[in-house]
Amino acid sequence: MEYLLRVGNLIDGRGPEQGPRVVAVKDGRIAFVAKPDEVSDDRPLLDASTYTLIPGLIDCHVHVRTNGEVDRRLQPLTDIPGESTLRGLKNAQADLRSGFTTLRDCGGMEALALRNAVNSGDVLSPRIFAAGYGITATAGHMDQDRYVGARVHDNPGVADSPTEVRRVARSLLKLGVDLIKTNATGGSFGNGHRPNPGAQQMAGEELAAAVDVARMAGKRVASHAMGEAGIRAAVNAGVDSIEHGFWLTPDVAEQMADQGAFLVPTMATLFRNTTRGFAGPGMSDEVKEQLRQRAIWVRERLFESIEYARNAGVKIVAGSDMGGGPYLYHGECATELSQLVEAGLTPMDAIRAATSRAAELLDREDELGSIAEGYRADLVLVEGDPGRDISLLEEGRGVRGVVLDGCPVALTGALDAQGQRAFGDLWGRVQWIVGC
């Protein structure tokens, strides 16, 4: 498929807004970007001159297998084969409709199966970078055996020594994961009265073993790390990204900047914890309120961590953790961008965190996250200017069209009097187009 797309404003994911532009798409790639008066071409022209064009958005921390369900921890025990993968497809498509063309899944075997189906062209979904199961200590953050007498897939990610970590990491590489996920710490909440939130759970030498195996295979390592000790251990081990980083300190932020490590702060989780609350089987109203108050406290601390990271020059990347907790719904990934702005980033910085900066974390900065010649034609048409009002991206509110690899996959523009979408006959009358 070849066509020209004329837009009223272009945000390329790297630099400032460029104003009106024409983008040429050919065979799923961007052939050129030019000013309207520089183009004389007989290819089909899609006139979207009242819209802003941005790169397809990237969420670098999701869990596609769940969608904020109250009983999400029970699902591995109750799902029949294939059920969670199909749920993951539905969730990923919700993200696609809201403008996210690439997802980095940070825990779940279903994402590997979905990634393979996407890559083979069998299903329509954002492209996926999958970690598979996360490496965790016994009773650690991603140890799924939470119920007496219940076993979940023989706990393949559990490892309690550097030697076991190496074995698990190599098993993950055998499955073809795109990155290795480790869990340096526990979570921030527990049962509502845990005295040491975010406590370290994997030893430094265990984290270093995961990094060593990943480096030999040319893969990056992400580490769930909330508390100060675990963040420090993960950074000392050489991980590539700190996921969450709620108790980051100025000195560790400086070290992260020196090492080129990324921070994926998942701010949307705490925002939803404070606004939507908590849920769980048998959870009393008293415990729910304890957890909500803790979320308010932790969120205040995360704002400090972001400030430390910004001051040190740490590379901040957008990751929403959608699916990772109750009431964290797919299709709402852009909540993270609004939260980054609230934490002090400019709207343009937040867009870069979900485009070119995110592509850098994925090692795909030469083909994703920007609108430039040779890049994949992942494009989002927005009604309004998200470079000035980031809330236009929340829940896809201002999103009017999504293009994945040059193929229009989601159209939400208003119908004209002839029943056509705003972008002409080429894109047709349907909301979803499978294949080009």
- We report the CATH number of the domain holding residue 102 as 3.20.20.140
pLDDT digits (tens, 9 = 90+) for 159-175: 999 999 999 999 999 99
The tokens of 231 are what?
A: 């963040």
Cβ atoms within 10 Å, residue 153:
11
Please return the burial class of 162, using the count of CB atoms within 10 Å of its CB with bins 0-12, 13-18 and 19+. Answer: middle
Expressed as residue numbers, the domain containing 128 is 57-333
Residues 167 and 209 in one domain: yes
Q: Which residue has the higher pLDDT, 229 or 196?
A: 229
Instruction: Identify whether the C-beta of residue 361 lies closer than 8 Å to the C-beta of residue 100.
Output: no
pLDDT band at 80 (very low <50, low <70, confident <90, very high): confident
pLDDT digits (tens, 9 = 90+) for 376-387: 999 999 999 999
pLDDT digits (tens, 9 = 90+) for 93-114: 999 999 999 999 999 889 999 9
Tell me how many domains the chain contains: 2
* Domain assignment present for 340: no
| Average pLDDT of the chain, as a whole number | 89
Q: What is the pLDDT of residue 436?
A: 52
pLDDT at 415 > cutoff 50: no
Residues 112 and 245 in one domain: yes
pLDDT at 45 > cutoff 50: yes
pLDDT band at 196 (very low <50, low <70, confident <90, very high): low
pLDDT at 32 > cutoff 70: yes
Residue 130 bridge partners (DSSP): 105
Q: What is the pLDDT of residue 434?
A: 40
Query: Above pLDDT 70, what percent of the chain?
Result: 89
Residues 163 and 188 in one domain: yes
- We report the CATH number of the domain holding residue 410 as 2.30.40.10
pLDDT at 419 > cutoff 60: no
Residue 128 bridge partners (DSSP): 103
Q: What is the pLDDT of residue 223?
A: 98
Is the pTM above the cut of 0.85? yes
Minimal CA–CA distance to 100: which of 390, 388, 409, 372?
409
pLDDT band at 158 (very low <50, low <70, confident <90, very high): very high
Q: What is the pLDDT of residue 18?
A: 97
What span, in angstroms and rounded, lies between the C-alpha atoms of 128 and 188? Answer: 27
* Domain assignment present for 250: yes
* Domain assignment present for 92: yes
